[in-house]
């Protein structure tokens, strides 16, 4: 952790980069304490503000945590699933919303990944995930539900489906795919008939998963994908017509 690189970037970015590399390659193991801010000033020969800006960059990426007080300091943080989820979702959401990714592309990615997950979910589902799925289906049927609430429940349903695969890495990867779609889905106003159709497919899906029927689950997901695309098409062309 003595040499930095890329003299084009800011000092704080260079320092953050050097420390980040040391964390990634394992030179700095989890829970290791970094040198104090003052010591880092001396090591990198910069002022404390610069060191602090570097540390804030690392904290923003959940690479370190800081602790005040006598035995405090900056420590290499064990990246947990919750933090990783949050970052994934932020990044995915912005990537979709800022790059004019069309609905069809995002939708395809999401359902492709979800279909990959379904066979595992069918094989390994446990009662708790089935309960969650059924509960969300019930919520989706309630009258007076706003479009946002409907979409939120949709996300919860699909997350339960994914989590039923009992592979945390898979859940993490799909969190972004599923959640990032929500803002796009929120742009759609679902008619009562649309909702009915979705609810029926969700029910079919939950049944298939319960019966450990991977083939049927895949079929339903494929239908759900094309129906979702069709609904989006209807809404968007209607809007364009106006």
Which of 14, 121 has the CB closer to DNA?
A: 14
Which of 90, 189 has the CB closer to a copy of itself?
A: 90
DSSP symbol at 188 = S
Q: Which of residues 2-61 bind DNA (CB under 7 A)?
A: 10-12, 34, 36-38, 45-50, 52-53, 55
In whole angstroms, give the CA distance from residue 187 to residue 194.
Answer: 14
The Cβ-side half-sphere exposure at 129, using a 13 Å CA radius, reads 21
Question: Measured between alpha carbons, how far is residue 209 from residues 31, 33, 104, 204, 216 in Å?
Answer: 40, 46, 26, 9, 8
The Cβ-side half-sphere exposure at 15, using a 13 Å CA radius, reads 24
94 binds a copy of itself (CB under 8 A): yes
In whole angstroms, give the CA distance from residue 82 to residue 60.
Answer: 14
Pick one of 39, 108, 196, 233: the residue that binds a copy of itself (CB under 8 A).
108
69 binds, among a copy of itself, DNA, none (CB under 5 to 8 A by kind): DNA
Within 10 Å of residue 2's Cβ, how many Cβ atoms? 6
65 binds a copy of itself (CB under 8 A): no
81 binds a copy of itself (CB under 8 A): yes
CB 74 within 8 A of CB 28: no
Q: Which residues pair with 67 in a beta bridge?
A: 73
SS3 66: strand
Structure tokens given for 158: 């699909």
For residues 61 to 100, the per-residue mask of contacts with DNA, x marking binding by CB under 7 A and - elsewhere, is -----xxxxxxxxx--------------------------
34 binds a copy of itself (CB under 8 A): no
For a copy of itself (CB under 8 A), the number of binding residues is 55
Minimum distance between the CB of residue 11 and a copy of itself, rounded to whole angstroms? 11
CB 198 within 8 A of CB 95: no
Binding-site ranges for a copy of itself (CB under 8 A): 12-13, 16, 20, 23-24, 26, 30, 49, 52-54, 56-61, 63, 78-81, 84, 87-88, 90-99, 101, 105-106, 108-109, 112-113, 115-117, 120, 167-170, 172-173, 176-177
Binding-site ranges for DNA (CB under 7 A): 10-12, 34, 36-38, 45-50, 52-53, 55, 66-74
């Amino acid at each position: 952790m003595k040499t930095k690189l890329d003299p084009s970037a800011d000092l704080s970015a260079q320092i953050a980069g050097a420390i980040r590399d040391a964390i990634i390659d394992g030179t700095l193991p989890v829970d290791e304490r970094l040198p104090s801010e003052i010591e880092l000033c001396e090591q990198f020969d910069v002022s404390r503000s610069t060191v602090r800006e570097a540390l804030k960059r690392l904290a923003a990426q959940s690479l370190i945590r800081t602790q005040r007080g006598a035995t405090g300091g900056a420590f290499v943080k064990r990246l947990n699933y919750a933090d990783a989820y949050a970052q994934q979702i932020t990044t995915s959401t912005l990537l979709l919303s800022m790059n004019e990714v069309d609905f069809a592309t995002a939708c395809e990615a999401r359902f492709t990944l979800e279909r990959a997950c379904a066979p595992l979910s069918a094989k390994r589902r446990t009662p708790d995930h089935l309960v969650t799925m059924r509960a969300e289906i019930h919520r989706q049927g309630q009258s007076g539900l706003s479009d946002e609430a409907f979409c939120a429940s949709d996300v919860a349903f699909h997350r339960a489906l994914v989590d039923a695969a009992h592979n945390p890495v898979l859940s993490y990867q799909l969190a972004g795919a599923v959640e990032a779609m929500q803002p796009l889905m929120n742009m759609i106003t679902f008619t009562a008939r649309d909702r009915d159709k979705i609810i029926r497919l969700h029910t079919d899906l939950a049944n298939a998963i319960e019966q450990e029927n991977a083939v049927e689950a895949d079929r339903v997901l494929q239908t759900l994908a094309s129906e979702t695309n069709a609904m989006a098409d209807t809404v968007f062309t209607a809007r364009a017509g106006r």
